């Protein structure tokens, strides 16, 4: 066994600026800090989510871009990634980190490529049930692939051996919800429904749900307590529909108390991004999930199908997410609330409350078993 490197060396975390990448990256950073590892973040110029990190945490910005679009866009993206690679090499050579960890998104590509070139121990984390394009590019090059699901599509046969199941870290406030009992339900009592579709809400949820809920009988509507995140342009119409139907509803474009809202929820209706899936499982809440149909490689359908397969949620393709379908499902839940309670109980089958610690273990394993020149 090789000598472990000094904990005076930082662990570099490379991630894009979207919530799906940021939240698990921040959770890992907290776990590693408790083990006395210094942290340095590398992101692109849009990655402002790391700006409020603890004093002493280095944050570096490099050039990065996707490779989508036409020929000109691809050429521009390659140029940006090339510049980012040179910037990342300079940063890594100066920091001499113990390891480099990538959380997906194109901002992680230059840093992780530079790390593999220099010989720094590397690990990438995949939040979805389908390997993302950036991680697909990096998978053959890195030392370890940490996954959130037991089965992840897109990992090539020659890379399967370096995959390790850690789960997807979530915020501590969300994990704490899973330690509390599922809210009690009765055949005549109130059902709390939490609806959201990402940072700006999803149009299909604002179009279908108010009409579906309004179509229920007066006695059914009286049992509903709705919390819904809406796009700004949808807010007034959604509010008018609920008011006309005498449905109790709290509507906002953004909720800054989401853990509290999730704690009281009996049912979540949402898209099926990695963060949503992980937080539902961690909190122990069932979901009626409508995967975004244009997600890369249809990864949201794969995410939702994984938890639907264990009876913890329901996956509804957007074309099937109609007013009639939703109304029928709500009637089913209202008539027999035990369906929701049983789905909530099934989240235990995938819950990994220690995902951040398991991921930190994988990081340290990649460090300890990699030949390095620095002594402890």
Identify whether 284 is part of a domain. yes
Could you tell me if 218 and 282 lie in one domain?
A: yes
User: In the numeric block, which tokens belong to residue 331?
Assistant: 């009637």
Over range 230-259, report the average pLDDT.
95
Could you tell me if 343 and 358 lie in one domain?
A: no
Could you tell me if 102 and 191 lie in one domain?
A: no
pTM of the model: 0.86
Cα gap 138→117, rounded to integer Å: 12
Name the nearest CA neighbour of 195 among 275, 256, 250, 127: 250
Could you tell me if 228 and 345 lie in one domain?
A: yes
Angle, CA 331 vertex, CA 227 and CA 174 arms, to 5° = 35
Its domain, for residue 193, covers 174-349
Specify burial of residue 181 (Cβ count, 10 A radius: 0-12, 13-18, 19+).
exposed
Q: What are phi and psi of 288, to 5 degrees?
A: -100, 105
CATH classification of the domain holding 148: 3.40.50.2000
Per-residue pLDDT band at 373 (split at 50, 70, 90): very low
Percent of the chain topping pLDDT 90: 72
Identify whether 306 is part of a domain. yes
Question: Of 69 and 246, which is predicted with more confidence?
Answer: 246
Identify whether 5 is part of a domain. no
pLDDT digits (tens, 9 = 90+) for 249-304: 999 999 999 999 999 999 999 999 998 999 999 999 999 999 999 988 899 999 99
Could you tell me if 77 and 185 lie in one domain?
A: no
Identify whether 375 is part of a domain. no
Could you tell me if 296 and 343 lie in one domain?
A: yes
What pLDDT is recorded for position 55? 52
Identify whether 322 is part of a domain. yes
Identify whether 373 is part of a domain. no
Split into its structural domains, the chain has a count of 2
Could you tell me if 262 and 329 lie in one domain?
A: yes
Could you tell me if 20 and 112 lie in one domain?
A: yes
What pLDDT is recorded for position 58? 86
pLDDT digits (tens, 9 = 90+) for 7-47: 789 999 998 766 678 889 999 999 999 999 999 999 887 65
Cα gap 324→321, rounded to integer Å: 8
Identify whether 1 is part of a domain. no
What pLDDT is recorded for position 374? 46
Which contiguous run of DSSP H or E holds residue 194? strand 191-196
Could you tell me if 160 and 301 lie in one domain?
A: no
Tell me, what DSSP letter sits at residue 180?
A: S
Could you tell me if 247 and 98 lie in one domain?
A: no
Could you tell me if 307 and 359 lie in one domain?
A: no
Per-residue pLDDT band at 240 (split at 50, 70, 90): very high
User: In the numeric block, which tokens belong to residue 162?
Assistant: 């370096």
What pLDDT is recorded for position 131? 95
Identify whether 4 is part of a domain. no
Could you tell me if 82 and 70 lie in one domain?
A: yes
What pLDDT is recorded for position 38? 95
Taking CA atoms, 14 is separated from 112, 170, 297, 339, in Å, by 7, 17, 22, 41
């Amino acid at each position: 066994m090789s000598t472990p490197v000094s904990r005076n060396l930082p662990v570099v975390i490379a991630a894009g600026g979207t919530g799906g990448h940021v939240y698990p990256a921040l959770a890992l950073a907290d776990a590693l800090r408790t083990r006395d590892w210094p942290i340095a973040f590398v992101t692109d110029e849009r990655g402002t989510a790391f700006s409020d990190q603890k004093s002493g945490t280095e944050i570096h910005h490099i050039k990065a871009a996707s490779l989508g679009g036409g020929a000109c866009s691809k050429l521009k993206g390659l140029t940006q990634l090339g510049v980012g690679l040179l910037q990342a090499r300079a940063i890594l050579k100066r920091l001499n980190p113990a390891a480099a960890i990538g959380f997906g998104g194109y901002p992680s590509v230059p840093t992780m490529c530079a790390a593999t070139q220099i010989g720094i121990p590397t690990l990438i984390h995949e939040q979805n049930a389908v390997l993302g394009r950036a991680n697909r590019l990096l998978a053959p090059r890195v030392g370890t692939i940490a996954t959130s699901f037991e089965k992840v599509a897109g990992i090539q046969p020659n890379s399967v051996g370096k995959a390790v199941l850690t789960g997807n870290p979530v915020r501590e406030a969300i994990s704490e919800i899973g330690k509390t009992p599922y809210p009690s339900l009765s055949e005549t009592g109130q059902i709390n429904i939490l609806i959201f579709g990402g940072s700006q809400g999803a149009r299909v949820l604002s179009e279908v749900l108010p009409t579906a809920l309004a179509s229920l009988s007066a006695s059914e509507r009286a049992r509903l307590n709705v919390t819904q995140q809406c796009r700004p342009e949808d807010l007034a119409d959604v509010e008018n529909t609920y008011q006309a139907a005498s449905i109790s509803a709290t509507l906002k474009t953004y909720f800054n108390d989401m853990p509290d809202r999730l704690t009281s929820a009996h049912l979540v209706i949402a898209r099926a991004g990695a963060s949503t899936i992980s937080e539902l499982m961690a909190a122990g809440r069932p979901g009626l999930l409508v995967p975004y149909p244009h997600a890369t490689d249809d990864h949201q359908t794969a995410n939702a199908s994984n938890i639907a397969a264990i009876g913890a949620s329901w996956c509804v393709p957007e074309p099937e997410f109609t007013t009639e379908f939703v109304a029928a499902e709500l009637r089913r839940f209202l008539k027999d609330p035990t369906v929701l309670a049983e789905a909530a109980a099934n989240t235990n089958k995938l819950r990994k409350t220690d995902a951040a610690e398991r991921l930190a273990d994988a990081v340290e394993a990649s460090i300890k078993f990699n030949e390095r020149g620095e002594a402890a």
